[in-house]
Structure 1
Amino acid sequence: MRSRYYVHEPERAHFVTSTIVDWLPVFHTAACCDILAGSLDFCRREKGLRLYAWVILENHFHAVVHCDNLPRVMADLKKFTAGKLLAQLEVERRTWLLDLLAAGKADHKTRSTWQLWQEGYHPQAIYSDQTRLQKIEYIHANPVRRGWVASPEHWRYSSAHEWLPGGQPVLRCDLWR
């Protein structure tokens, strides 16, 4: 994955953002959101990814994460989810979206028909508890700012559910250490 963004301090947690090519609305169905959430969970269980907060929106996701090899895990996550999401778009017969993903493919992507993710994931190191809390609040407030829900915990594909008594989160987060 070519990118001008790098993890310079792998010992720190990072705020990351991954965006669909041309900001196309891939995550409009539960099936597509579940693919990404399931992949994040797999990376937690099998690849050492610590997930502290997350949200999936229609064309991107944000997360606060930490991992010994964050660049590798993010590359694996995006590669795996791209294949699964493209197959799901075919099942959903969203050919108009597949056509746009083909048109948005970077010229150097010669081994594929489509490009789902923009390159990079914009890692921003987190240096303080204040910054960590600010990023988590930003993540959880995204659906509210867009006017989709009245309160962060009403958005199904978000870690805001973690703090609800008896909440049923789609994906559990790790405790901050």
Structure 2
Amino acid sequence: MSHQYRVRNHEEIHFITFTIIDWVDVFIRPAYKQLIIDSLIYCQQNKGLEIYAFCLMTNHLHLLVSAKHPIRLPDIVRDFKKHTNKQLIKLVETENESRRDWMLYRFQYNARFDDRIQNYKVWQDGYHSIECDREEILFQKLDYIHDNPVRAEIVSHPEHYIYSSAINYAGEKGLLEVILLDRGFISVKF
């Protein structure tokens, strides 16, 4: 991973992206999406993850996050990816999945090139992390995250996409509790 995208200040808010191997559209079934939501909630409640924004697309996840001291953001990310890797494979094997053989083949094929992985590799290595240490960067990333499903032509308005925190920022209750940011760096839980 490039030094440009490494977490330096672990308490700073970071824009991070996790991408599925080969950009496979995994998150099209409710069970797979719910696994990610439940795993993020677990990380919030048990690992010190603070979420300011998120958007789960069909093959990647965008987050604006930080970690509570003394927890390190890379440790949370590592645990999240390891857990969801295993659980997604279990779901693919047990759900009514028409693409099961093809998906498992893709994940197994990619695992062959990574000595750390035994059977299946779901996530691409690393995560694209950008430190949001200036207000202009922070809100550019916030808008980018929320506009993702609009750019993909899934919805016409960001707040209509339920697998995103845009609904929280529109004043409604979303799937995750997030810390709302306003243009003056004041955050509030909603």
- After TM superposition, is the score higher than 0.5? yes
Q: RMSD of aligned C-alpha atoms?
A: 1.5
CA distance in 1, matches of 2:76, 2:112: 22
CA distance in 2, matches of 1:103, 1:162: 39
CA distance in 2, matches of 1:111, 1:171: 30
CA distance in 1, matches of 2:180, 2:163: 19
Aligned residue runs from structure 1 range 26-175, under 5 A: 26-67=26-67, 68-92=71-95, 93=97, 94-109=100-115, 111-165=117-171, 167-175=172-180
What TM-score, normalized by structure 2, do the two folds share?
Answer: 0.86
Q: Which amino acid aligns with 2:175?
A: V
Q: Which amino acid aligns with 2:164?
A: S
What TM-score, normalized by structure 1, do the two folds share?
Answer: 0.92
Q: Which amino acid aligns with 1:64?
A: L
Off by >3 Å, runs of 4+ in structure 1: none
> How far apart are 1:32 and its partner, in Å?
0.5
The alpha-carbon distance between structure 1 residues 120 and 90, as it changes in their structure 2 partners (threshold 3 A), is: same
Higher strand fraction (1 or 2): 2
Q: Give the structure, 1 or 2, with the largest relative contact order (CA under 8 Å, sep 6 or more).
A: 1
CA distance in 2, matches of 1:6, 1:27: 26
> How far apart are 1:108 and its partner, in Å?
2.7
2:24 aligns with 24
* Contact map agreement 1:89 1:95 (CA 8 A) in 2: no
